[in-house]
Amino acid sequence: MKTTILIHCTDRSGIINAVTGYIHRKEGNVIYLDQHVDKEANVFFMRLESDFEKEDFSIQDFENGFQTELADSYGMEWSIHQAVPKPKMALFVSKYNHCLYDLLSRYHSGELEVEIPFIISNHNDLRPIAEQFDLPYHHIPVTKDSKKEAENKQLELLKVNGVDFIVLARYMQIVSPRIIDEYPNKIINIHHSFLPAFAGAKPYHAAFERGVKIIGATSHYVTEELDAGPIIEQDVTAVSHTHSIKDFIAKGRDLEKIVLARAVKLHVRRKTMVYNNKTVIFS
Amino acid sequence: MKTTILIHCTDRSGIINAVTGYIHRKEGNVIYLDQHVDKEANVFFMRLESDFEKEDFSIQDFENGFQTELADSYGMEWSIHQAVPKPKMALFVSKYNHCLYDLLSRYHSGELEVEIPFIISNHNDLRPIAEQFDLPYHHIPVTKDSKKEAENKQLELLKVNGVDFIVLARYMQIVSPRIIDEYPNKIINIHHSFLPAFAGAKPYHAAFERGVKIIGATSHYVTEELDAGPIIEQDVTAVSHTHSIKDFIAKGRDLEKIVLARAVKLHVRRKTMVYNNKTVIFS
Amino acid sequence: MKTTILIHCTDRSGIINAVTGYIHRKEGNVIYLDQHVDKEANVFFMRLESDFEKEDFSIQDFENGFQTELADSYGMEWSIHQAVPKPKMALFVSKYNHCLYDLLSRYHSGELEVEIPFIISNHNDLRPIAEQFDLPYHHIPVTKDSKKEAENKQLELLKVNGVDFIVLARYMQIVSPRIIDEYPNKIINIHHSFLPAFAGAKPYHAAFERGVKIIGATSHYVTEELDAGPIIEQDVTAVSHTHSIKDFIAKGRDLEKIVLARAVKLHVRRKTMVYNNKTVIFS
Amino acid sequence: MKTTILIHCTDRSGIINAVTGYIHRKEGNVIYLDQHVDKEANVFFMRLESDFEKEDFSIQDFENGFQTELADSYGMEWSIHQAVPKPKMALFVSKYNHCLYDLLSRYHSGELEVEIPFIISNHNDLRPIAEQFDLPYHHIPVTKDSKKEAENKQLELLKVNGVDFIVLARYMQIVSPRIIDEYPNKIINIHHSFLPAFAGAKPYHAAFERGVKIIGATSHYVTEELDAGPIIEQDVTAVSHTHSIKDFIAKGRDLEKIVLARAVKLHVRRKTMVYNNKTVIFS
């Protein structure tokens, strides 16, 4: 059985040895170990891919032992994840189709190891793409008055379908705190600027106005503060005075697609850990 | 005689033809023409490299004719520059030596087509480097009380030496409006962040705190508003959770050196034009 | 009427003035002019976007005058292109779907200003994607024996549909000289390496074997020599020892998509000129 | 005592646990562990930074125990390195000064944790820079006839000064196999192309000729096959048809400086391991 273990705790001597020793005693083989110490915060992070080949291996038994033998004494927060089943990813979109097309193409090609139970949108525009890819599309309009009701519908769909994480593929609405609370560090947004520059609306216009020579895109986990959550991935591309705002937007689309797809993959492979509103991204 | 002509004016039909026709009548050859129209502002920009081989070519005569035949009727702001003599570049530094070393190495190798009449610093620390490269070093301390006096000394040195433009090679003092007024779009600063993110002090610390995945450096013309002048050049490099603030600073040094050197070269080759607090950078 | 004019000829004095003067006399307005001189080859290149607003403007008349008044005396090779109708782009694919998905998504979103009359493939695998996007899909298998016949079918489809240019979106067959001759500098290929490194088959395997730290993709016009045609666009991404060949391939897919799409856009906007097996790419 | 341990051996289960357990028993604290498995070659690599605070800690004792308890049974090749004293780096140069200036500036600023006992050159041109930085400069001309004698002089200087590794900062001579044998994976070269493209002489000319849109620089360990050793670091920069060969060279200089400096730092921090003519670069 292939597993991924994520651990963080206050740093101290002997943790690696203790954890690898425990896995060894459970007849597991550490295939990959990545570790990091945030020296400012004095926090230890570790990600282990381990393989347990023993036929009667019990994950319940492993968890119990790990908790009492290690986690309790080291004060660890930790989790163990099996490779199957694939996590369920809900997509929220509005009117822009480039990130949706990109993610669905990757999904369809088997590049993304997820299930997509449905797409939610506050508009009907992208329904044809959902149909192209044979996926359920829920049109949930959001107005001032319908906001609460819309949230209820969204939450119900998420719950009924057992959604594991949410991807905002250029969803142009603010996600409610109720949903953020249900999915802490499990909602991935793509912002069309090199954050923290140009947070908020119309970043390409602001970048053009400022006369920057490079534009960017940022994928981050959604927190209650707008565009201020832990950054997962960023990328940039050069621009010049020859580019109009329209050119910025067109160049930006390619950045957004790539940066969002990379972030989704990192999340799916459990290569991200969040601490102090920052991410550790394992290699 | 090799010349560079820079022009900007309200856009209208026929400008390129009018200008190239005038140069042709003066028996000049247009070696390179680069042109840009800012459609939002409706402004036309042009840079021409022209060669006048006629022995009795008079630049005074050319200027007079250009002004009356073209500039007046098109409402042009324009300038013509000869390739020689080399412009005089003053260097302002504080305690960091990496940009100074980089610029002086390039200068010494003949890579920068400038004269460096002197280095000004508010500290004495980098004097040995000036001596290494055999350049005058003026230590002008800046305190609250001595600020006015320091400016006077700086201005006098600039004037006496006929300085054409100033490079702030990690100069850690705010340049006074009096000097900025004397050198409009002629003071080049290097800021150690990807502006407009992290303007002001300690940008690497702020970038580390925010958990960005890319850091940058920005070279810009100095205006009265801090770190808000027209951007000449920017570049970035990837960072990760494995990098400490110290690593950010070390990686940033290389960015700062390169970005500042590129901006200086663009300025020296008269490839920059400033309009609406933005730059046009000709290729 | 919006037009794009492309010119190249031996460099000499007065060309810009002569061309802009002619356009001016025809009551055209030069909206954008980009010009380049290859000093080694002594060749002058120019691209002009011009607008002719006169109601009775005749392109035939313009062409005749241009040829006799300018092109003949300067020895110019030149062409004038109208913005409409959109050029017709044929797609050749094999089994990889990422470039096809990417181009069709852009096409469907109106990002590519082309018509796509059909897709040709030597396999049947990607037919469902053609159906998703409602495009004709012609399965033309290529074997040693059927090669000639396959070419005939391809050529006929190209001719009947009035195809202007061809995009090989990871087409895994060598295009025959007969087709290359019919479409000189009009067949765009994407090669999955940073050419000239790793030309030929299995470039990601070769890159992995060599232990490079950066991989790339190259879009180029197809010539008879394999992977040696004029390069239109290249891009790269960092890799490390932690990446397997499978990772190289996955990272490379994103490069290939972006690089091919950029090259197609440059071609469609007539921003490319070919000379001495190299490209001039106008901005 | 701060140490860095480098290990590689055939991959098998339990290695991490065995090594960290041994360090733990010796009362050491693993500060940083980075590990990699080359699945194709089935080789395990590990780099550990460990701190041994015990006053009576004996490195000799540690080494003996490690060898008999671990290395022998796992078939490990391994080494342990103390942080002090700084390694001794010899510089070989010819006529280009940019890499030399860059390295000496970093050295002088304390950025490079090395000693530089001397500079060797086959020309006298760069002696003034050595004098600027107060370093011994040995002019050892290399001609067909004097080659053997030159090597002898070089080897003697290396030996007498206890040199640990050699940096070829644009040294335009082929290093003899005798020296390569003495310094296996300890001679760092900078090649001015994106290897394996444009190996050999005049890579910028070849890149210009081919019409590439990106140029690069590559730092690698020197092996007997020219420009074919294990790659440590690469970087690239965009070029276009507007750039002449001279521009390629100027842009390339900045790449060369940065790429070589990064490689030197990686080597000094013992973050490189070589296997199968490839490098593992620890983070």
Per-residue pLDDT at C13 exceeds 90: no
D130-151 average pLDDT score: 95
Q: What is the pLDDT of residues C104-114, one digit of tens each?
A: 999 999 999 99
CA-based nearest distance B124→chain A, Å: 33
Cross-strand partners of C58: none
Local structure of D63: helix, strand or coil: helix
CB–CB contact C102 A105 (8 Å): yes
Q: Find, in chain A, the residue whose alpha carbon is nearest to that of C133.
A: A132
Per DSSP, A83 falls in state S
Mutate to test the interface with C, among B7, B11, B16, B32 (most CBs of C within 10 A): B16
Q: What is the pLDDT of residues C37-65, one digit of tens each?
A: 998 889 999 999 999 988 899 999 999 99
Per-residue pLDDT at C211 exceeds 90: yes
CB–CB contact D105 B105 (8 Å): yes
Q: What is the pLDDT of residues B93-124, one digit of tens each?
A: 999 999 999 999 999 999 999 999 999 999 99
Domains in chain D, ordered, with CATH? Answer: 2-82 (3.30.70.260), 89-281 (3.40.50.170)
CB–CB contact A33 D35 (8 Å): yes
N-to-C CA span, chain D: 21
Per-residue pLDDT at D53 exceeds 90: no
Lowest mean pLDDT among A177-186, B217-226, B227-236, C26-35: C26-35
pLDDT band at D30 (very low <50, low <70, confident <90, very high): confident
Per-residue pLDDT at B32 exceeds 90: no
How far is residue D23 from each of residues A21, B106, D33, measured CA to CA in Å?
13, 49, 12
CB–CB contact D33 A13 (8 Å): no
Largest CA distance in chain C: 65
C-alpha–C-alpha distance, residues D59 and D65, integer Å: 10
The single residue of C227, C235, C247, C254 carrying the catalytic annotation is C227
The single residue of B56, B125, B181, B227 carrying the catalytic annotation is B227
Residue B71's pLDDT is what? 97
CB–CB contact D283 B242 (8 Å): yes
Lowest mean pLDDT among A28-42, A96-110, A232-246, B248-262: A28-42
CA-based nearest distance A203→chain D, Å: 26
CB–CB contact C32 B35 (8 Å): yes
**CB of A13 less than 8 A from some CB of C:** no
Per-residue pLDDT at D32 exceeds 90: no
Q: CB–CB of B7/B19 below 8 Å? A: yes
Residues in chain A with CB shorter than 8 Å from the CB of B276 are: 211
Residues in chain A with CB shorter than 8 Å from the CB of D24 are: 13-14, 17
Q: Above pLDDT 70, what percent of chain D?
A: 100
Cross-strand partners of C238: C214
Largest CA distance in chain A: 65
A216-220 average pLDDT score: 98
Q: What is the pLDDT of residues B250-266, one digit of tens each?
A: 999 999 999 999 999 99
Residue A215's pLDDT is what? 98
Per-residue pLDDT at D102 exceeds 90: yes
**CB of B250 less than 8 A from some CB of A:** no
C-alpha–C-alpha distance, residues A129 and C181, integer Å: 39
**CB of B258 less than 8 A from some CB of D:** yes
ipTM score here? 0.94
**CB of D275 less than 8 A from some CB of B:** no
Per-residue pLDDT at A39 exceeds 90: no
Residue B243's pLDDT is what? 95
What HEC string does B51-106 produce? EECCCCCCHHHHHHHHHHHHHHHHCCEEEEEECCCCCEEEEEECCCCHHHHHHHHH
Q: What is the pLDDT of residues B1-13, one digit of tens each?
A: 899 999 999 998 8
Which residue has better confidence, A256 or A21?
A: A256
Residues in chain A with CB shorter than 8 Å from the CB of D17 are: 17, 20-21, 23-24, 30
CA-based nearest distance C136→chain A, Å: 16
Residues in chain C with CB shorter than 8 Å from the CB of D40 are: 244
Mutate to test the interface with D, among C38, C214, C233 (most CBs of D within 10 A): C214
CB–CB contact B109 D98 (8 Å): yes
- Residue of B133, B250, B283 with shortest CB distance to D242: B283
Q: Strands A89-93 and B165-168: what pairing? A: unpaired
- Residue of B211, B214, B230 with shortest CB distance to A194: B214
**CB of C34 less than 8 A from some CB of D:** no
**CB of D23 less than 8 A from some CB of A:** yes
A69-77 average pLDDT score: 96
Q: What is the pLDDT of residues B211-252, one digit of tens each?
A: 999 999 999 999 999 999 999 999 999 999 999 999 999 999
Average model confidence (pLDDT) across chain C: 95
Mutate to test the interface with A, among D25, D30, D37 (most CBs of A within 10 A): D30
Per-residue pLDDT at B40 exceeds 90: no
D80-103 average pLDDT score: 94
Q: Find, in chain A, the residue whose alpha carbon is nearest to that of B214.
A: A234
CB–CB contact B105 D111 (8 Å): no
Per-residue pLDDT at D219 exceeds 90: yes
Mutate to test the interface with C, among D198, D219, D221, D241 (most CBs of C within 10 A): D241
Residue C30's pLDDT is what? 87
Local structure of A174: helix, strand or coil: coil
CB–CB contact C17 B30 (8 Å): yes
**CB of A169 less than 8 A from some CB of C:** no
**CB of A39 less than 8 A from some CB of B:** yes
Q: Find, in chain B, the residue whose alpha carbon is nearest to that of D32.
A: B242
C-alpha–C-alpha distance, residues D5 and C64, integer Å: 78
- Residue of B13, B24, B35 with shortest CB distance to C29: B13
Local structure of A161: helix, strand or coil: coil
- Residue of A13, A20, A37 with shortest CB distance to D16: A20
Q: What are phi and psi of D18, to 5 degrees?
A: -65, -45
pLDDT band at B156 (very low <50, low <70, confident <90, very high): very high
Average model confidence (pLDDT) across chain B: 95
- Residue of B211, B240, B279 with shortest CB distance to A211: B279
**Is B227 part of the annotated catalytic residue set?**
yes
Per-residue pLDDT at D114 exceeds 90: yes
pLDDT band at D13 (very low <50, low <70, confident <90, very high): confident
Per DSSP, A145 falls in state T
Per-residue pLDDT at B39 exceeds 90: no
CA-based nearest distance C193→chain D, Å: 11
Per-residue pLDDT at D264 exceeds 90: yes
Mutate to test the interface with D, among A5, A11, A17, A45 (most CBs of D within 10 A): A17
**CB of B216 less than 8 A from some CB of A:** yes
CA-based nearest distance A21→chain B, Å: 25
Per-residue pLDDT at B53 exceeds 90: no
Q: What is the pLDDT of residues A113-170, one digit of tens each?
A: 999 999 999 999 999 999 999 999 999 999 999 999 999 999 999 999 999 999 999 9
N-to-C CA span, chain A: 21
How far is residue D202 from each of residues A125, B66, C129, D218, measured CA to CA in Å?
56, 45, 47, 14
Q: Above pLDDT 70, what percent of chain B?
A: 100
The upper half-sphere exposure of residue C150, i.e. CA atoms within 13 Å in the direction of its Cβ, equals: 19
Q: What is the pLDDT of residues C172-197, one digit of tens each?
A: 999 999 999 999 999 999 999 999 99
CA-based nearest distance D105→chain B, Å: 6
Q: What is the pLDDT of residues D152-209, one digit of tens each?
A: 999 999 999 999 999 999 999 999 999 999 999 999 999 999 999 999 999 999 999 9
- Residue of D196, D236, D240 with shortest CB distance to C236: D236
**CB of A143 less than 8 A from some CB of C:** no
Residues of A serving a catalytic function are 227
Per-residue pLDDT at D14 exceeds 90: no
Residues in chain B with CB shorter than 8 Å from the CB of D254 are: 258, 261
Residues in chain D with CB shorter than 8 Å from the CB of B242 are: 283
Residues in chain D with CB shorter than 8 Å from the CB of C234 are: 212-214
Per-residue pLDDT at D40 exceeds 90: no
Phi-psi category of B43—alpha, beta or left, where left has phi over 0 and alpha has psi -120 to 50? Answer: beta
CB–CB contact B254 D250 (8 Å): no
Q: CB–CB of C263/C219 below 8 Å? A: yes
Q: Find, in chain D, the residue whose alpha carbon is nearest to that of C280.
A: D241
Per-residue pLDDT at A231 exceeds 90: yes
Per-residue pLDDT at D266 exceeds 90: yes
C-alpha–C-alpha distance, residues A206 and A202, integer Å: 6
**Could you tell me the strand order of the sheet in which D119-121 lies?**
D137-139, D119-121, D89-93, D165-168, D187-191, D214-221, D231-238
When computed from its CA atoms, the radius of gyration of chain C, rounded to whole angstroms, is: 21
**CB of A234 less than 8 A from some CB of B:** yes
Q: What is the pLDDT of residues C135-151, one digit of tens each?
A: 999 999 999 899 999 99
Lowest mean pLDDT among B14-18, B187-191, C129-133, C138-142: B14-18
Residue B13's pLDDT is what? 85
CB atoms within 10 A of CB A189: 24
pLDDT band at B14 (very low <50, low <70, confident <90, very high): confident
Q: What are phi and psi of A27, to 5 degrees?
A: 65, 30
Residue B29's pLDDT is what? 86
CB–CB contact D234 C211 (8 Å): no
